[in-house]
Structure 1
Amino acid sequence: MGLVLAFLLAVTTLSQQVTCATLRPSYKAIFNFGDSFSDTGNVAILAPKGLYIVNPPYGETYFNRPTGRASNGRVVLDFIAQSIPLPLVPPYLAKGQDFSKGANFAVARATALDFNFYKENNIIPTSSLTLLNISLSVQLNWFENLKPSLCNTTDACNLYFNSSLFLLGTIGFSDYNTMLTAGKTLDFVNSKVPDVVGSITSAATSLLDQGVQHMVLPGVVPLGCLPRILTTYVSPNLSDYDSIGCLQRYNNISQYHNRILQDAVKQLQIEFPKAVISYADYYQPITEFLAKPILYGFTVNGSPLVACCGGGGPYNYNSSAVCGQSGVAACPDPTTVNWDGIAFTEKAYNIIANGWRNGVFAIPPI
C-alpha cells in the first residue's frame, strides 16, 4: 500500500509540475518578508555574534558555511528562486548587492506585531534583537526605502512589481513563541491570533494596493511538533499528544492561525480579482513528513520528532546547549525533518517548495 501511495503521489506531482510549468509566469524578481524560516542573512548582519545560527554547523550541507539561514542548507525561498530561475534572493541589509532581481527583508525572530504591542502587554523580549527593529512593519518600511532605486515612476513600478513574486512570510511563529516564553497562557496566545493574522493581512493589502499581482501568504508551522516546544512544555498526560507525538494544544494555535489566514486570503482574492494570491501550507507537509518519514525519504534518529542538531534530551533540544553553540554537533546524516529544534532541514524545505510550486501544498500553485 505504501508503494502504491508513493507511486500515485509521484505521478500526481509530475502531472501538476508539467501543467504549472506551462502556466507559471516568468517572474523578474522576488521580494520576501518574514522571520527565520526565510531569512537568508539579515540576522547575520544585524547580530553577527548574537544568535547561534551564524555559527557552524548551520549551512554545512549546501553553502559549506553559515549564512544566517536557520537550516543546514537552503530554505524554501532559495528553492523557489532557483526554480524560476533567479539568483538566490539577497538579504536587504547586505551592502553592495544588486536588488534588481529581488530582495529579502526577512529577519530571524521577526514578529508580525510591533514592539508597542509587546510593551503594552508587558511581554519581555527574549533577546535584544527580538521586536526592536525587525517587525513586519519595519520590513515594509525597508521595502519603501528600496523602491526608489528599483523604479522611479508609478507606471515603471507597476510594470516592475506586476512581474515580480512577493512572499509574505512565513511570519507569526516568533509572535507566539515570544508570548509563550514570556509565560503567557495558551488562552492569551489564542486570543492574539486574530491580531497577528490581521497584521499580515494589512501588510498584504498595502502591497496589493501598490500594484502587486503575484503574492504568496504562507501559514505557520505546527508549533506542537517542534522539539523546542515538546521539550519546554512536556506533559505527563498522554492525552495531550496526538498520534504523531505532537502537543495538540500548541498545534491548535497553528491551526487557528492558518484557518484565519486562509479566510483572509479568500477575502483578498475577492478584493483584488486581478491578482494571483496563494495560500502556501507549512503545516500539512511537516505533519505528513513526521507521520510518514520513510515515504518522503527522511532518516529517523529514534523518532522523526528528534532534531538533527542539538544538545541532547528526548528530542535533542536543550536550551542550554543549542545548535551552533560550542560543543554541539549535528547528526551525521541531516536528512531528518527537523534541523535545530525549531527550523527544518534543507531536504524538508526542498519538498515543501516543490509542493508550493506544483499545487500539492499551495492553493493556487506558485
Structure 2
Amino acid sequence: MGLVSAFLLIVIFTVLLHQVTSTTLQSSYNAIFNFGDQYSDTGNFVILAPRALFIGNSPYGETDFNRPTGRASNGRVVLDFIAQSIPLPLIPPYLAQGQDFSKGANFAVARATALDFVFYQKNNIIPTDLPLLNTSLSVQLGWFENLMASLCNTTDACNLYFNRSLFLLGTIGVADYFTFLAVGKTVDYCNSKVPDVVGSITSVAKHMALPGVVPIGCLPRILTIYVSPNVSDYDSIGCLQIYNNISQYHNRILRVAVKQLQIEFPKAVISYADYYEPITKFLANPRLYGFTVNGSPLVACCGGGGPYNYNASAQCGQSGVAACPDPSTVNWDGTVFTEKANSIIANGWRNGAFASPPI
C-alpha cells in the first residue's frame, strides 16, 4: 500500500474515533463502504471477468432479483441486508458505470485475496482452474482512494461525510486458502500463512467491522475435492475437521487482533463479525433455523451432482445445471450461501448474536 493510501486510512480512522457507540452510529449512517470477496461482491467480478465464473448466469439471483446480478447467491448477500436495515439503498459495485456512490460503494470482488497479487507471482502460486485477478484488499483500498475525490473535497466535508459512514470488510481470506490448496500446498502450509493473511486484514482494517472466515471444511466444494476414506476425519456434522482447523486458527488470531485494536482505540467501534459459528449452527440444526434439507444440510442447492451436489465440471450457472426446487437451504453453489442464510447472519451481526459488539 502506498503512502497516500496509508494516510487515507489514518484520516478515516481518526474520524471514527469520534464515534462513541454502535447505537448512535446506526441512527446516523448515511453510506456504506464494503471490501471483501465473493461473500459480499455485488457485481465487480462479472464486470472484470465476465466469462471466468458463472455467477453472471441463471439461476444466480433467481430468488430476490429474478435475474443474475453478479452476486454469488440465489438472492441478496449479507451486505444487502445490512444496507436495507439502516435503511440505505443496495450498495452498487464500484466498477459499474454511471452509479451514484453518494450512499456508498462496494469494492468486494469474488476470489479476491487478502495477500497482495505480487506475493502469488513471486512464489509461483498460480492456480490453473481460474486465474487470479489483481483485486486484493490493498487494490480495493486504492479504488476507495480514487473515489474519495468525488465524495468530498475539503477536510471538514470529508470528516462529516465519513463520520457518518459504515465501513465493512465482508470477509476475505478464503480465496487465499483455496488458492494454496488448489496448487497442492499442504494444510500445514495454509496454517503457516494464516498470520500473514490476518495481518494483511488487520493492518488496514482498524476502521471496519471484521468478519472471520467461514468453516472451509463444511463447504461442498472442499468436501468433494478432498473427500477422505477415513470416517475419523469428519466431525459430528460431517465436515472435514482438518480444513475447518484452518478457519478456526484464522478466526482465533483475528479475534485476538480485534481485541487488541478495541483496547488500543476504545472510542472507536471495531467489531468482530462471526461467519463460522452461524454456519456450523445452521448445519447442525437446519430445521431449527427454518432451512430445508435436501438429503443432508451439507448438500449445495445448485450444482451438477455428486454426494454434495458439487461438480467442478458442471457448476452452478453452467448450461444444464439447475437449482433445487426450494433454495431455503444453507449452501447455494458449493462455496457461498443462500439468501436465507445470509439474512440470518446479517441479523445476527446487527443484534449481537454473531458479532461483538453488534454492527
The alignment's TM-score, normalised by the length of structure 2, stands at 0.92
Shift of 1:169: 2.7
Shift of 1:160: 1.1
Q: Distance in 1 between matches of 2:218 and 2:179?
A: 17
Q: Distance in 1 between matches of 2:299 and 2:46?
A: 26
* Residue aligning to 1:211: none
Matching residue within 283, 286, 294 for 1:290: 283
Q: Distance in 2 between matches of 1:151 and 1:263?
A: 35
Matching residue within 105, 108, 117 for 1:106: 108
Superposed CA RMSD: 1.5
Deviates more, 1:334-343 or 1:45-54: 45-54
Does the 8 A contact of 1:70 with 1:343 survive in 2?
yes
Shift of 1:271: 2.5
The answer to whether residue 337 in structure 2 is matched with residue 344 in structure 1 is yes
* Residue aligning to 1:362: 355
Unaligned 5+ residue runs, structure 2? 1-21
* Residue aligning to 2:203: 202
The answer to whether residue 302 in structure 2 is matched with residue 303 in structure 1 is no
The answer to whether residue 259 in structure 2 is matched with residue 266 in structure 1 is yes
1:66-102 per-position Cα deviation (integer Å, ceiling 9, x unaligned): 0110000000000000000000000000111110100
* SS of equivalent to 1:277: coil
* Residue aligning to 2:150: 149
One-letter amino acid of the counterpart of residue 82, structure 2: I
* Residue aligning to 2:39: 37
Q: Distance in 2 between matches of 1:75 and 1:108?
A: 12
The answer to whether residue 61 in structure 2 is matched with residue 68 in structure 1 is no
Q: Distance in 1 between matches of 2:250 and 2:328?
A: 28
Matching residue within 238, 244, 259 for 2:237: 244
One-letter amino acid of the counterpart of residue 33, structure 1: F
One-letter amino acid of the counterpart of residue 179, structure 1: F
Q: Distance in 1 between matches of 2:214 and 2:188?
A: 19
Does the 8 A contact of 2:220 with 2:334 survive in 1?
yes
1:127/1:97 CA distance change after superposition, 3 Å? farther
Does the 8 A contact of 2:42 with 2:108 survive in 1?
yes
The answer to whether residue 283 in structure 2 is matched with residue 281 in structure 1 is no
Q: Distance in 2 between matches of 1:287 and 1:349?
A: 13
1:19-61 per-position Cα deviation (integer Å, ceiling 9, x unaligned): x878843201000000000000101111122210110000000
* SS of equivalent to 1:165: strand
Q: Distance in 1 between matches of 2:24 and 2:194?
A: 38
Q: Distance in 1 between matches of 2:92 and 2:48?
A: 15
* SS of equivalent to 1:204: coil
Once the two structures are superposed, the pairs formed by residues 66-215 of structure 1 within 5 Å of their partners are 66-126=68-128, 129-130=131-132, 132-205=133-206, 208=207, 215=208
Unaligned 5+ residue runs, structure 1? 1-19, 209-214
1:119/1:148 CA distance change after superposition, 3 Å? same
Q: Distance in 2 between matches of 1:129 and 1:77?
A: 26
Q: Distance in 1 between matches of 2:144 and 2:38?
A: 18
Shift of 1:269: 1.3
The alignment's TM-score, normalised by the length of structure 1, stands at 0.90
Does the 8 A contact of 1:126 with 1:178 survive in 2?
no
One-letter amino acid of the counterpart of residue 34, structure 2: N
1:140-161 per-position Cα deviation (integer Å, ceiling 9, x unaligned): 0000000010111222212211
* SS of equivalent to 2:157: helix
Does the 8 A contact of 1:57 with 1:323 survive in 2?
yes
One-letter amino acid of the counterpart of residue 273, structure 2: A
